[in-house]
Chains A and B, each alone.
Chain A
Amino acid sequence: MKIQQGFSLVRIWVYVFFGTLLFLVTWIWTYQIDSTLGISAFANGWILFGILVFLSLFSARKRLPFLPLASSSRWFLLHVVCGFLALFLFWLHIGGMWSKGFYGQVITILFYITSISGVVGLFIEKVYPRQLTRSGVEVIYERIPMEIAEIREEVESLILKCTEETGSSTLAEHYLETLRRYFQRPRFFINNIFGSHLPQHWVRQQCMILERFLNEKEREYLDKVYALAEKKRKIDFHYTLQTLLKTWLLVHIPLAGAVMAMVIWHLILIMVFFV
């Protein structure tokens, strides 16, 4: 089975083309309505509302994976294209980039933060999976605690074994003073976000610094501990990137919900006071 990595370029351009076309048609229509002394905000407002509803449906679609409503990747691509389209339509609707009035400003702020979180999410969704693949490790996000616990247990059993076999406590003392904290839970979260090499250097440094104080037998155990520390470092990297892949939605979706609530309130006000 062929696993599709990302979007088909042709499909992207087709969707972008139709998105742009819809925007241009709306723009021309708006201009025409303004020219004929109509209220263009009704026209482009309803189109914008339709787009926002469609964007919201993506979340619902993910909850209904069994329905034959096209693939999630296609929905995601449409969501991205419509997201940008909504931003341009929003500017067209408010006739600028900033609204007047408290509730207009609340909608604007919420809409912008939602849009920015969406763009950040798109970046995360497109860049991080490749970086995870390149790391050479595959791990399910929910299993990371178990993986870390397993590594920690393995390291600690190696240390005990080393102490028993060699009668030296150098490696054990070093573990308790330095490495134990490292194996406790995922580390270097911020460094991993920016792809820093600091975690790698730190692990190597902590192992190399001990090497000259160990005998041959202890060095064998140190090599095994180093290998496990490296494995843990990669899992930490997974943990960081997968956390971001999952948690950006904690910003995007609640704000999108707030935007929709405000949009419905806006519609009520328009229907009651203006139409």
Chain B
Amino acid sequence: MEDNKFGHDQSNYERPNLPYRCGRASLWQTPCNHGPEVDGTCGGTQECTPFLKNDRWECRREKRFGGPCEDGPGSGGECSIQRPPCAPRSTLRIIRGRLVLLAVSIVLALIGTSLVLDPKVGGMVSISDAGPLSKSHAKFTEKEGCATCHIAYGQGPVEWIKAVFSNSDLSSRCVNCHSFGGPSFKAHNANMSPDRKVGDTQCVMCHREHNGPGMSVRALFSDQCNSCHKNKFTSLEHGHPEFSKKYPYFNRNSIKFDHGSHLKKHFENPKVSDKAPGSCIGCHMITLEDREVRPSSYEIVCAACHDSQIKKKELILLRLPELVQNRIDRDSLVQACNFPEGNVKEEEEFLSVSTEQPALVSAFLLNIPEDDPEIYDQPIQDLVLAMAEESSVPFAELIDSQTETPMSENLLMGLNPEVLKRAACSWGLNREYESPAEVRFGGWYTDMLEIRYKPSGHADPVVKSWLEFALAVSLNQKEEDKAARAIAMRDQILSAKDGVGGCIKCHAVSEVKNSKVGSHLAVAWKYESKSDSPYVLYKHENHIEILGTKGACSNCHILNKEVDYMASFKEYDPVNWVSNFEFISKKTCMQCHSESQIDLECQKCHLYHFKPSFKKDMLVVKAESVSTTP
């Protein structure tokens, strides 16, 4: 190639920044010298533009294009070298600019279309779609769509501009559906004392949406916990404080079950060993349980050994005691009992048919000493006469006078007035009452000198009412003697050995403190779940799945043979107690939760929120959606 080919007088100056290039060149022909005009028309239809000088047209072809031509311009000043026009083409620069415009226009068109179209129609191509919601939120936002959380959604441009300059406050929308056991925007939903300088929280600090149905909105990591907690540590293994010394047995069990005596003594006894469970899961339900492994029902766990014992322990409502002299008005008795005239003879010398003391229940109700016949003689006989006249009415009145709310209906449920009256008539005549038949099933009955109640079985409502009555009256007596009698009655009824039904052998009695009505004693009739650590998350099921059902429990729950478990129940303090099991320490968990084994993140064992729940409206929506699901 020639060295001077690109010299200023040898070649044309190329200007690729111009919008058009020669159409001939685009067809691989020799391009013209002039090139296209700026407006895109061909500029090369003639070789040059002749110049009029001294009335003579001169050729103006430049030297680099061969200099003036031989023929020169025509007489009219037209160039002698004429060509048909070409069709100039756009340069790359212009094409590039058009492509940029096209690309941006497509994007703008997409945005415009998605804004104009109804979200339900344009949902699939919505250019505002930030991503699919989590499975839990997707269902609840079906009705209102994005506006459920985003206030500006579906509003006009003015609202959008306003939204840019105002706080969208997404968290305030969260609490339209979610509720907590404490303030929503305080750390851990806890009411902390003002001296603890803890700032307000926002849901979006931890929760992120639009990550798809498969992703949890609760994916957090330990460092986020450390951002607030003063005691910073990286994992359970490194820096986590030792568990509380009582962990996890903070409160006394509601059901007294001495694992030590049962496992080591009773279950090994050949007489009952065939009824003993094979392992822990014989009594504890592990299916679908999370933090707490509840025991199965009484019928499954206890009835085989203890059911017969309940029925043996009866309540004595009234016992005809040893009387000093007959103080019952004969005429009244004859009239009340409908004895035939003359059939009832007056005894010459009164000799009491009974040599017993009054029952503690009736001693309390009548407020009489059970060991002084001189004092109780009259009240007892008055009661007997009243029974002969009105059957159970005097008892009901006595009972109802002891408490603020009448309890006689529950306490005397099933008491046969006819039988009661007959017994009273016999006792009025200083005779024993002979029961027509032996009592085989539960219920009230009268035999010889006593009115007794035989429990029908576990959870007998009359027995439960008598225990509650005994507890209620034992604390509200002002008179010293009566208080002593109430406590004597209570102790007898609550006695694990002799009390009616022997309920207290298994059911704990605890003192319940109430600032309004004062403290009182209450029987734990049902198994009570432990909710004293609301921020601890533990799933027994997951652990048992890994460790297996046989022997898995004893990995963590180690029986403490040294402690006297039952001694804790002699008092009524539910906190001051010792568990059957050794306390669980951090080391126990670290058998598996160590760096080389299982996850150690805070969220593995701890919940952030306090009693997270849904608001009522949401539960209705949920219920409706469940009912409409085919």
Residues of A within 8 A of B (CB): 31, 34-39, 99-104, 106, 137-143, 145-146, 148-150, 153, 184-186, 246-247, 249-250, 253-255, 257-258, 261-262, 265, 268-269, 271-275
Contact = CB atoms under 8 A, between A and B. Distances in A.
Nearest to A35: B223
A102 B25 CA distance: 45
B92 A34 contact: no
Contacts of A249: 96
A246 B126 contact: no
B224 A254 contact: no
Given A250-B95, A273-B163, A39 B204 contact: yes
Contacts of B164: 268, 271-272, 275
A274 B168 contact: yes
27 contacts: A36-B224, A36-B227, A37-B227, A38-B205, A100-B131, A102-B126, A102-B129, A103-B126, A139-B1, A140-B14, A141-B16, A142-B16, A146-B31, A149-B31, A250-B99, A258-B106, A261-B104, A265-B127, A268-B160, A268-B164, A271-B163, A271-B164, A272-B152, A272-B164, A272-B168, A273-B163, A274-B168
B206 interface: yes
Main secondary structure of the interface of A (DSSP, over half): helix
Nearest to A273: B150
Contacts of B476: none
A196 B48 CA distance: 43
B496 to A, nearest CB: 54
A254 B152 contact: no
Contacts of B95: 250
Given A35-B224, A150-B30, A254 B96 contact: yes
A247 B16 CA distance: 13
B111 interface: yes
A254 B103 contact: yes
Given A37-B227, A261-B104, A253 B25 contact: no
Contacts of A148: 28
Q: What 8 A-B pairs have minimum CB-CB distances, sorted nearest first?
A: A101-B131, A100-B131, A145-B25, A254-B99, A37-B205, A258-B103, A254-B103, A35-B223
B211 interface: yes
Nearest to B31: A146
**Residue among A35, A101, A261, A273 with most chain B CB within 10 A:** A273
Interface string B112-148: 0000000000001111111110000000000000100
A150 B2 CA distance: 14
Interface string B1-24: 100001000010010100001101
A154 B38 CA distance: 32
Contacts of A258: 103-104, 106-107
B576 interface: no
Contacts of B110: 106
A99 B106 CA distance: 20
A145 B204 contact: no
Contacts of B211: 100
Contacts of B24: 145
B29 interface: yes
Contacts of B111: 265
B480 to A, nearest CB: 63
A143 B14 contact: yes
A46 to B, nearest CB: 15
A142 B14 contact: yes
**Residue among A149, A255, A272 with most chain B CB within 10 A:** A272
Nearest to A149: B30
Given A37-B224, A257-B100, A100 B153 contact: no
B126 A142 contact: no
A168 B204 CA distance: 90
Given A35-B223, A148-B28, A247-B92, A272 B210 contact: no
